[in-house]
């Protein structure tokens, strides 16, 4: 055997231990260790039963994701599983940590499974754009039935050991911390009671009971249509479970294998696997090592109790961190606090938590009109009006109030943080924490590193982000940072497109069908067209001015680019259509037919190009961080991997070609970035950076 597997014999029990950090993924050496280890244990006459167990933090957490797309080597997983399932002696999986994907599929070929109470099992392949491709789609329904298999496999949930026991996925729970002893004792019991070698593949009761009930699947598809929109993997998982119910095991496996192959070689799974690694990379900052000193953050101050300040406060209250919130006027303070309470009470009404929990969270909040009360806060976040003079004034005051070592953060979404930092004598303490609205809901946090921000302040901000459940990306100071800088490209093109010939609903439809949660015009209507609009100064110069002047300010006024009914359902507006045609005529624009392809390319390719400029300027660490920003902040479809990965998928040569074509027709809004040119010249993609 190789060095990731170790077979020992204790009495008449063979214990095969796998040790392949970090998560015992099923790489070629692990597959080999299982195959050879079980074979040796079978050949050893002293061994009457076999325990399969893992060292380290977890049981096998799945196939080795890094191996997908590469040429296969070593024994296949099926070979290893066959060795287990056909063993003439009972094989018992001993589970701790997480038995996921291929890991659970291995355990399902064992004749029995025991687990510690903290263990979890699941088939999360769907999150990687896949389906369980090692028999899991056929074995799981044979234990838990079609309905539960549908739920588990299409959501990729990790199910706790106790529930696994109830569902029959696990045969016995053993004492926490005593898995090895417990599993050996169980194995002895199996021998003593002469229990059979249970092969799940032969258990047909559950699937036979579901046979002839196609409504199970149809209802499930209908109920989840919105959630699954655009994703291939959930539907493929469903088809495999249908096969498990309707076909003999071997035939079902054939369906599983065919659909697995299709997914694993497709672009959606490649994108979702990219996102899996991007989500882990984004926390790593090359020049801020793991051992950078962290500033303990036990209390937070927030300046501004408006929508943003209140939402930011809730993040900390939810995590049990006390917050002092400051406003300049009692009325605004009361309104802010009341909104927070109302949000919590609404959550309690929906059953998310109890009323006591509401009081507990509100009890951590100290409202005040005095900025001096922030003197003890470890982290202070300013969320006041977006105006440089106002922000500098706040930071100047803060400098005198905040204790030594406190982090001074701004929630600005647009202003130059280096300039804000000039208002204090300790610029190393200043950082941007750009929350996205609604701040208590949106997962993304852009952590903005200014010129002089210290490494400690960066490391602490990343850690705080994790603590409050955000996904944080470290970005540099530039207009709009990463997220809004890309957004500005798309918004500009969307506006131009509706002048040149498309209608808002054409643009929105194309981007919605691409997989975004909504198009730019629906988004503007939702946000309110009057954000940043000034009634006194408005002279009907832009389409937005004209809409606002007509009191078409978006959903809140029942009309914007679209007309809205009482339930806020949108319909294209003939009024807006006429306004657009009139406006274009006034400006002498010759409208033309615009294809869906052009809409997509005009909206997305300039974003990719801008991302390349951001990388060139060093304002994002890696292309995949930009992907994370757009997936978590703007709902870019995961199955496209983010804008930069999408660029690689389309081919950067194609993106560059189109940018050049548009540039020659429409000017320098489409000027390709030097990095894009360079990558294409070298035949590379963002993935190669
Ligand atoms: C599958 O099984 C297909 C089969 O059905 C069919 C086969 C034919 N492979 O998340 P963490 C790395 S598909 C390679 O930070 P945690 C990860 O990148 C698979 N690497 O730890 C990270 O590396 P680094 C189905 C993997 O404690 C390090 O391990 N299984 C894999 O927060 C630590 O990870 C899944 O989808 C892998 N499978 O969470 C499970 N998994 O340190 C995927 C992890 O360099 N994994 N790494 O950044 C997880 O959900 C979590 O990692 C887990 C631990 C819950 C296990």
pLDDT in tens, 262-303: 999 999 999 999 999 999 999 999 999 999 999 999 999 999
Please, are residues 121 and 95 in contact by the beta-carbon 8 Å criterion?
yes
Q: Is 240 in the pocket of ligand 1 (CB under 6 A)?
A: no
Cα–Cα–Cα angle for 118, 124, 128, nearest 5°?
140
Average pLDDT score over residue span 663-672: 97
Residue positions counted in the chain: 689
> Which CATH number does 502-586 carry?
1.10.1040.10
Please, are residues 579 and 552 in contact by the beta-carbon 8 Å criterion?
no
Q: How far is the CA of 30 from the centre of ligand 1 (A)?
A: 14
Q: What is the pLDDT of residue 531?
A: 85
Sorted by sequence, the CB contacts under 8 Å of residue 274 that are 6+ apart come out as 624, 627, 641, 642, 645, 687
Segment among 536-545, 610-619, 671-680 with least mean pLDDT: 536-545
User: Quick one: what percent of the chain has pLDDT higher than 70?
Assistant: 100
Q: Where in the chain is the domain with CATH 1.10.1040.10?
A: 502-586
Q: What is the pLDDT of residue 532?
A: 82
Please, are residues 359 and 387 in contact by the beta-carbon 8 Å criterion?
no
Q: What is the pLDDT of residue 136?
A: 98
Q: What is the pLDDT of residue 179?
A: 98
Q: What is the pLDDT of residue 240?
A: 98
Q: Is 124 in the pocket of ligand 1 (CB under 6 A)?
A: yes
Q: What is the pLDDT of residue 415?
A: 94
- The Cα–Cα gap between 85 and 576 comes to 66
Q: Is 483 in the pocket of ligand 1 (CB under 6 A)?
A: no
Average pLDDT score over residue span 174-190: 98
Beta bridge partners of 114: 94, 172
Phi, psi (deg, nearest 5) at residue 437: -85, 140
Cα–Cα–Cα angle for 589, 590, 594, nearest 5°?
110
- The Cα–Cα gap between 216 and 205 comes to 17
Q: Is 471 in the pocket of ligand 1 (CB under 6 A)?
A: no
User: Which CATH architecture is the domain 5-264 placed in?
Assistant: Alpha-Beta Complex (3.90)
Average pLDDT score over residue span 4-8: 97
Marked catalytic residue, from 32, 36, 105, 601: 105
Return the residue whose CA atom lies nearest to atom 24 of ligand 1.
Answer: 280
User: Which pLDDT tens digit goes with each residue over 296-333?
Assistant: 999 999 999 999 999 999 999 999 999 999 999 999 99
Q: Is 132 in the pocket of ligand 1 (CB under 6 A)?
A: yes
Band of residue 533 on the pLDDT scale cut at 50, 70, 90 = confident
CA distances to 405, 582, 592, 601, 663 from 589, in Å: 57, 10, 9, 21, 18
Please, are residues 652 and 676 in contact by the beta-carbon 8 Å criterion?
yes
Q: Where in the chain is the domain with CATH 3.90.226.10?
A: 5-264
Q: What is the pLDDT of residue 1?
A: 81
493 belongs to the catalytic site = no
- The Cα–Cα gap between 99 and 88 comes to 24
User: Quick one: what percent of the chain has pLDDT higher than 90?
Assistant: 96
Q: What is the pLDDT of residue 525?
A: 96
181 belongs to the catalytic site = no
Sorted by sequence, the CB contacts under 8 Å of residue 604 that are 6+ apart come out as 490, 514, 643, 646
Would you say domain 300-482 falls under CATH 3.30.420.300?
no
Check: pTM over 0.85? Answer yes or no.
Answer: yes
- Please give the mean pLDDT across all residues of the chain: 97
CA distances to 92, 287, 477, 563, 630 from 480, in Å: 56, 24, 8, 30, 13
Q: How far is the CA of 476 from the centre of ligand 1 (A)?
A: 30
In the structure encoding, which two tokens stand for residue 75, read together? 């024994």
pLDDT of residue 3 exceeding 90, the answer is yes
pLDDT of residue 412 exceeding 90, the answer is yes
Question: Counting atoms of ligand 1 from 1, which one is nearest the CA of 62?
Answer: 2
User: Which pLDDT tens digit goes with each residue over 115-174?
Assistant: 999 999 999 999 999 999 999 999 999 999 999 999 999 999 999 999 999 999 999 999
- The Cα–Cα gap between 265 and 269 comes to 7
Q: Say which DSSP state 640 is in.
A: G
Q: Where in the chain is the domain with CATH 3.40.50.720?
A: 300-482
pLDDT of residue 589 exceeding 90, the answer is yes
Ligand 1 pocket mutation, candidates 65, 129, 276, criterion most atoms within 8 A of CB? 65
Q: What is the pLDDT of residue 189?
A: 98
């Amino acid at each position: 055997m190789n060095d990731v597997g170790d077979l020992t014999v204790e009495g008449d029990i063979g214990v095969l231990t796998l040790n392949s950090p970090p998560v015992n993924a099923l790489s070629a050496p692990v597959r080999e260790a299982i195959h050879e280890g079980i074979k040796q244990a079978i050949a050893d006459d002293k061994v009457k039963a076999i325990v399969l167990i893992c060292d380290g933090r977890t049981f096998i957490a799945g196939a080795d994701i890094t191996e997908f797309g590469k040429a296969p080597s070593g024994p296949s997983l099926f070979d290893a599983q066959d060795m287990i399932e056909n063993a003439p002696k009972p094989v018992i999986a001993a589970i701790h940590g997480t038995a996921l994907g291929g890991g659970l599929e291995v355990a399902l070929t064992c004749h029995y499974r025991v687990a510690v109470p903290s263990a979890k099992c699941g088939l999360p392949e769907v999150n990687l754009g896949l389906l369980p491709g090692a028999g899991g789609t056929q074995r799981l329904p044979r234990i838990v039935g079609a309905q539960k298999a549908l739920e588990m496999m299409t959501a990729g949930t990790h199910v706790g050991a106790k529930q696994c026991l109830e569902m029959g996925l696990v045969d016995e729970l053993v004492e926490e911390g005593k898995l090895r002893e417990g599993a050996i004792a169980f194995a002895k019991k199996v021998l003593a009671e002469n229990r059979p070698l249970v092969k799940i593949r032969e258990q047909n009761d559950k699937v036979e009971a579901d046979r002839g009930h196609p409504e199970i699947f149809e209802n499930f598809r209908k109920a989840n249509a919105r959630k699954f929109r655009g994703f291939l993997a959930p539907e493929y998982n469903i088809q495999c479970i249908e096969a498990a119910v309707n076909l003999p095991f071997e035939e079902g496996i054939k369906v599983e294998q065919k659909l697995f192959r299709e997914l694993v070689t497709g672009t959606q799974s490649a994108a979702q696997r990219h996102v899996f690694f991007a989500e882990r990379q984004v926390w790593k900052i090359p020049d801020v090592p793991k051992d950078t000193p962290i500033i303990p953050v036990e209390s937070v101050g927030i300046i501004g109790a408006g929508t943003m300040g209140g939402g930011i406060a809730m993040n900390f209250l939810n995590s049990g961190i006390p917050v002092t919130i400051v406003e300049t006027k009692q009325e605004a303070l009361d309104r802010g606090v009341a909104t927070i309470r109302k949000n919590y009470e609404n959550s309690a009404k929906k059953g998310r938590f109890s009323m006591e929990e509401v009081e507990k969270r509100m009890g951590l909040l100290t409202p005040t009109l005095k900025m001096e009360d922030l003197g003890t806060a470890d982290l202070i976040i300013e969320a006041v009006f977006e105006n440089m003079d106002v922000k500098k004034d706040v930071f100047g005051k803060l400098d005198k109030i905040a204790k030594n070592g406190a982090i001074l953060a701004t929630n600005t979404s647009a202003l130059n943080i280096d300039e804000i930092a000039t208002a204090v004598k300790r610029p190393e303490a200043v950082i941007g924490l750009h929350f996205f609205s609604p701040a208590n809901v949106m997962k993304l946090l852009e952590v903005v590193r200014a010129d002089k921000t210290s490494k400690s302040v960066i490391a602490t901000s990343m850690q705080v982000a994790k603590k409050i459940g955000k996904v944080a990306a470290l970005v540099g100071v530039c207009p709009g940072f990463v997220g809004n800088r890309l957004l500005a490209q798309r918004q500009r093109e969307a506006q131009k497109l509706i002048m040149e010939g498309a209608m808002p609903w054409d643009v929105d439809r194309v981007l919605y069908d691409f997989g975004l949660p909504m198009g730019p015009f629906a988004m503007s209507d939702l946000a309110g067209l009057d954000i940043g609009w000034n009634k006194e100064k408005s002279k009907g110069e832009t389409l937005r001015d004209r809409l606002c002047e007509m009191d078409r300010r978006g959903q809140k006024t029942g009309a914007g680019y679209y007309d809205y009914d009482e339930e806020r359902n949108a319909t294209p507006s003939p009024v807006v259509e006429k306004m657009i045609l009139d406006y274009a005529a006034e400006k002498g624009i010759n409208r033309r037919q615009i294809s869906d392809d052009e809409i997509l390319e005009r909206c997305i390719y300039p974003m990719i190009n801008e991302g390349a400029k951001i990388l060139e300027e060093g304002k994002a660490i890696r292309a995949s961080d930009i992907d994370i920003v757009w997936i978590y902040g703007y709902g870019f479809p995961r199955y496209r991997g983010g804008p930069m990965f999408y660029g690689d998928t389309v081919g950067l040569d194609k993106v560059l070609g189109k940018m050049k074509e548009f540039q020659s027709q429409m000017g320098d809004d489409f000027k390709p970035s030097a990095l894009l040119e360079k990558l294409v010249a070298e035949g590379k993609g963002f993935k190669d950076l």
